[in-house]
Amino acid sequence: MKVLMLVSPQCQRAAQIASSLGDVVALAIAPDDTVFASLSLPASSTRIRLWDESLDPSSFHPFDVEARHAAVLAQAARRLGTSIVLLTESLTGFLSAGIAEQLNLAHVSEVVSAKLVSDGDDDPQLLVHRRGLRSLQVLRGTSQAVLSVLPSLQPASEPAQSVTSVTEWSLHDVSLGVADLPSPQLQVVAQSVRHHRPRLFLSPGALVARLRSDGLE
């Protein structure tokens, strides 16, 4: 089974899960190959780097960037014939949901781990551990899903000596043109940045009471 994994910072957990699920196709949307340097993947994995100037993160608001990346990754999954897509939770938080919506697949967020389990002659099923508010939710079902994996807390390992055999793709390779990408939906109207001070608590007791009211019993 082919598993498409998006290469991004702190994606070691996603890489580990992907390796356990099947043949990994590691795809990066990046201008150069350095993103693969610190990634630990089986030697049999396929590495693909896709780039076009229209995907440059600095050109648009992060939401619009992720909407564009979602369109590209969904199309890449179609071309590769993968039914499981793994990626590390993004800061903007839209990417995995955007891919799932376009592929019409289930989307699971806050994924801690995943594996394939087989019951006799049936097709293997996907068993996903998801971080919940109060428990680790274990989901079971068909092996077709977009999994948004929690980032790894371990520092990235030392970069490898060299990265070899990275296939380069362009938008054309996934049958897309710049005009096919979603138009920007957000515009920044003011450059001033606004932050908030934290809510303060006089005592640990008050803080604990608040945490309890948010479900942290």
Partner 1 sequence: MIEFLDSEPLCASLEALGQARRLGSAVGMTVYALLPMQSVAPQARERLGQLLGHFGADGVVLLTAESTVHEHELRFAPYARALQQACEELPPKLFLMADTPGARDIAPRLSARIGGVFLASGEPACEHGGLKLFDSHGQQVMPCDDPLADEMFAPTMLPVVMTLQAGRYALSRGSTAVPVRFMAPLDVDASSERTPVPGGGLAEDHCEPFSRSQRLWIQPPATIGPDTIPPLVAVSSERALLDRRSVHSLIAVGQSVVDRSDVQFGLPLGDGVTKDLLRVIEAEFARPKEPSVELNLSGLLSFHGDDDEELTPSTGRSWDGSDIVTGDTEPRLPVSAPSTAADSSVAHPPRTESASPSFERTNAGSDEMWDGDPTPHSVQDAVPQAELDGIDTEPITELGHKDSHSESPKAAASDENAKREEQP
Q: Considering the rule CB under 8 A, would residue 54 count as an interface residue with partner 1?
A: no
Interface with partner 1 in residues 65-84 (CB under 8 A):
70
Q: How far apart are CA 21 and CA 79, in angstroms?
A: 19
Among 1, 160, 178, 209, binds partner 1 (CB under 8 A): 209
DSSP 8: -
Nearer to partner 1, 166 or 184 (CB): 184
Structure tokens given for 193? 């940045």
Residues paired with residue 145 on neighbouring β-strands, in sequence order = 84, 106
Q: Answer yes or no: are the C-beta atoms of 109 and 146 closer than 8 Å.
A: no
| Among residues 31, 42, 132, 177, the one that binds partner 1 under rule CB under 8 A | 132
Q: What is the identity of the amino acid at 97? A: A
Contact residue for partner 1 among 131, 159, 168, 175 (CB under 8 A) = 131
- Enumerate residues 141-200 that contact partner 1 by CB under 8 A: 141-142, 144-145, 150-155, 183-200
| Residue 48 or 99 with smaller CB distance to partner 1 | 99
Q: Which is nearer to partner 1, 2 or 61 (CB)?
A: 61
Contact 145, 105 (CB under 8 A): yes
Mark 4-37 as b/e (b = at least 16 C-beta within 10 Å): bbbbbebbbbbbebbbebeebbbbbbbeeeebbe
CB 48 to partner 1: min, Å: 24
The pair of structure tokens assigned to 66 is 């992720």
Q: Which is nearer to partner 1, 1 or 208 (CB)?
A: 208
Find residue 128's DSSP bridge partners.
Answer: 114, 139
DSSP state of 118: -
Q: What span, in angstroms and rounded, lies between the C-alpha atoms of 52 and 201?
A: 49
> From the list 25, 72, 77, 126, which residue makes contact with partner 1 (rule: CB under 8 A)?
126
| Residue with smaller CB distance to partner 1, 22 or 184 | 184
Site for partner 1 in 33-52 (CB under 8 A): none
Residue of the chain from 38, 46, 54, 109 that contacts partner 1 (CB under 8 A): 109
> Which are the contacts of 34, defined by CB distance < 8 A and separation ≥ 6?
159, 163
Which of 38, 80, 107, 173 forms a contact with partner 1 (CB under 8 A)? Answer: 107
